[in-house]
Amino acid sequence: DKTCVSKYQGSGFVISASLTTNVNCWCGLQIENKMTKEKTQRKHFLETLSVLHWVLTFLFFGKIPPHFILMVYLMFTSLWPLSALYFVWLVLDWDTPERGGRKIHIVRNWKTWDHFRDYFPVKLVKTAELNPNKNYVLGCHPHGIMSCGAFSAFSTKSCGFAELFPGLRCRLAILAGLFRIPLMREYIMGAGLLPVSKASLEHLLSKSGKGNAVVIVVGGAAESLASSPGVNTVVVRNRKGFVRLALQYGADLVPVYSFGENDLFQQVTFSEGSFGRKLQDLIKKIMGFSPCVFVGEHFLIMPYRHPVTIVVGNPIAVPLRITPTEEEVDHYHGLYMEGLSNLFQEQKVSCGLSESHRLEII
């Protein structure tokens, strides 16, 4: 019998075998290949589970009733002291989100965020240096349905922000009302999220030293209603508060574009003036967010596995103006929109779009 020594390398697996026949060599290859497929299926499952956790948090646990009902229910059980103590804690800790929050590094480093990143996957791209001796206001566009890319890149450590921009501390600012929800507030504060309120942003830019990068999804709820695959529409033309904030604290402005964010869900859009759109606008006015009618894959709530590339653009130098004039705000707002447009044009092809795609600013 002739000894067969075979080594196969490629497609994520390596085989070394010393067998007596070619048939045995092939059997060894098949067994190893099967093991690799099983590992891939496990990885696929973990990615799906990680994203499902995020989606359920966004859709259900980010609302007041479930948490409030739970806390009230506990008041009528033998566990009532837990509920009572938590409500006391809630009162004493009410202003913590406005004072920098309570970031927990273990939460930001969870392995589940690596699986979350790999599901799409999400990639963070650097185009310019950011000086760690300065503060920055990053405007992220578009919002999409759930801002999955922004969360992965700026609220977890899975995309390597700290390695790309050494010395900078990044914080993502989200809807302030979420920090008033029992239990939910503890979770999102642990992830390093901050309320996008004046008090919160001023605290970060004035009382936390230098090297802070606050990320604001400028378009907010209005921009989410324009989210649709193949559409690149951002709501920023009449949004100037973030520019005024940057001037008041001398923080440089940085445009950020999340290529692929709008492709994660299909959205049912209602025309202006329709009953559906009026209802969405009414809820947005009352609650601060717009209920979007969308579909994805797997039970219709999971986002599509579409790549998301977050590109951080060139910083725009902003002077310190404690009381900026309207002319100054308009000037730097114009520079910001120009920088955002240039970023889109320069990066769109490398991020999977064609030359014919254009950015629409409304």
pLDDT of residue 323: 96
Q: How confident is the model at residue 276 (pLDDT cuts 50, 70, 90)?
A: confident
Say which amino acid occupies 244: R
pLDDT of residue 30: 44
CB atoms within 10 A of CB 69: 10
Q: What rounded mean pLDDT belongs to the chain?
A: 86
Predicted confidence (pLDDT) at residue 1 exceeds the cutoff of 60: no
Q: How confident is the model at residue 15 (pLDDT cuts 50, 70, 90)?
A: very low
Mean pLDDT of 210-217: 97
Which tops the pLDDT comparison, 39 or 14?
39
How many angstroms separate the Cα of 183 from the Cα of each of 57, 66, 294?
A: 12, 10, 27
pTM of the model: 0.83
Predicted confidence (pLDDT) at residue 17 exceeds the cutoff of 50: no
Q: What pLDDT digit, counting tens, does each position of 177-201 carry?
A: 889 888 889 999 999 999 999 999 9
Phi, psi (degrees; rounded to nearest 5) at 57: -60, -45
222: buried, middle or exposed (CB in 10 Å: 19+, 13-18, 0-12)? middle
Mean pLDDT of 216-232: 89
pLDDT of residue 275: 78
Mapped to the 3 state alphabet, what secondary structure does 101-123 carry? CCCCHHHHCCHHHHHHHHHCCEE
Q: How confident is the model at residue 61 (pLDDT cuts 50, 70, 90)?
A: low
| Topology classification of domain 94-361 | Glycerol-3-phosphate (1)-acyltransferase (3.40.1130)
Q: What pLDDT digit, counting tens, does each position of 67-79 carry?
A: 778 888 888 999 8
Mean pLDDT of 151-170: 96
Distance CA 345, CA 20 (A): 60
